[in-house]
Amino acid sequence: MRRRLFLAIPLLAAAPIQAQGVLARADNLLRVGRMFAAETLYYYAVRRAPRDPDARLALGRYLAARGAFRIGAVLMEEARYFGADPKKVAVYLAPVYAQLGDFRSLAGLPNTPLHNAERARAEWLRDNAPTVDGPDSVSVHWSPADTGALGTVVLRIGQESVRATLDPLAHGLVLDTAWMRSKDTKVFASKFDNDVRNAAGVTHSVALGDLTVRRVLTSFAPQASPTDAVVGLDVLMPLAPTIDAAARRIVLRKNGRVDRDMPGERVQTLLFGSGLWLVWEESMIPLAGADARRLLSGGPWTVDWRRGQVVAQ
């Protein structure tokens, strides 16, 4: 931290003393990909004004985007305690709790942004926590895509095989509306809203090879057929996937841990509602874009979500 503050002296010299000015400068630096300079200023703002709710909220959001979900959540909770707008905090906290699998906190979140069906689902998951069963790691077939989504994988839901598009912009598992009548899903719907797009669901088990993820967050939307689906990268990230285009395989790890000494170039990442972004040469590149595809085309790459990195081999 001393080294980061030393490097930040030129930045701080031009920044206003007030935390708001520092935060605005940090946000601007982050937008142009100067992640570590922005990080230094977020920390500086909190140290200069420890009870400033905006500073604490900004640092919490940043750390959650870097993969430090638990620390980020605590900082955002403290921001609410110090007077931050609880509705604003809840908007940022809800997806972090979901990524952590902390459905107890999600179900009890003050000023929740969740609609009735999502809240009912969170309350059910509070007592029926998601789990992962199977071997330590598995390798599953993957068909890469030329544009847009990352490709397709085959999921097994109950006795059915489903061809799922792996989409960095999607959240959870998206199934055809026909699955709302299946015993393999649990549907939560508001009695005040008949729109299936606002129904929240849970798929009881999703198998990828010999690995089974139980109680997967699910939404419903018409697909080309009931055997087509979309799966968000957020479903696979906790399994620390290694994607190998040449071998047409994805390796998934049950404990979600990546060896710190894994060979390859470590590219920093930021996770937002708009998906996973790579920080490369002082610019931010969406993982779903063509630039990221070119950057990662040289070999296998691994999402080390706990460290907020992609390891490109």
CB of 269 closer than 8 Å to CB of 277: yes
- pLDDT range class, residue 20, cuts 50, 70, 90: confident
Q: Is the pLDDT of residue 30 over 50?
A: yes
- pLDDT range class, residue 240, cuts 50, 70, 90: very high
Percent of the chain with pLDDT over 90: 76
The size of the chain, in residues, is 313
Q: Is the pLDDT of residue 283 over 90?
A: no
Selection from 212, 206, 231 nearest residue 151 by Cα: 231
C-alpha–C-alpha distance, residues 84 and 56, integer Å: 9
C-alpha–C-alpha distance, residues 111 and 135, integer Å: 40
The predicted pLDDT at position 18 comes to 65
Q: Is the pLDDT of residue 95 over 90?
A: yes
Q: Is the pLDDT of residue 170 over 80?
A: yes
- pLDDT range class, residue 193, cuts 50, 70, 90: low
Q: Mind listing the pLDDT tens digit for each residue in 155-168?
A: 999 999 999 999 98
Beta-bridge partners for 199: none
The CATH topology of domain 2-127 is 1.25.40
The predicted pLDDT at position 4 comes to 47
Average pLDDT over residues 129-137: 95
The CATH topology of domain 132-253 is Cathepsin D, subunit A; domain 1 (2.40.70)
Distances (CA, A) of 274 to 85, 137, 246, 286: 23, 28, 28, 9
Distances (CA, A) of 275 to 19, 55, 104: 28, 24, 25
Distances (CA, A) of 42 to 4, 24, 305, 309: 11, 10, 21, 20
Q: Is the pLDDT of residue 232 over 50?
A: yes
Q: Mind listing the pLDDT tens digit for each residue in 42-74?
A: 999 999 999 999 999 999 999 999 999 999 999
Q: Phi/psi at 182 (nearest 5 deg)?
A: -90, 150
Residue extents of the structural domains in the chain: 2-127, 132-253, 265-312
Q: Which residue has the tokens 């393999």?
A: 184
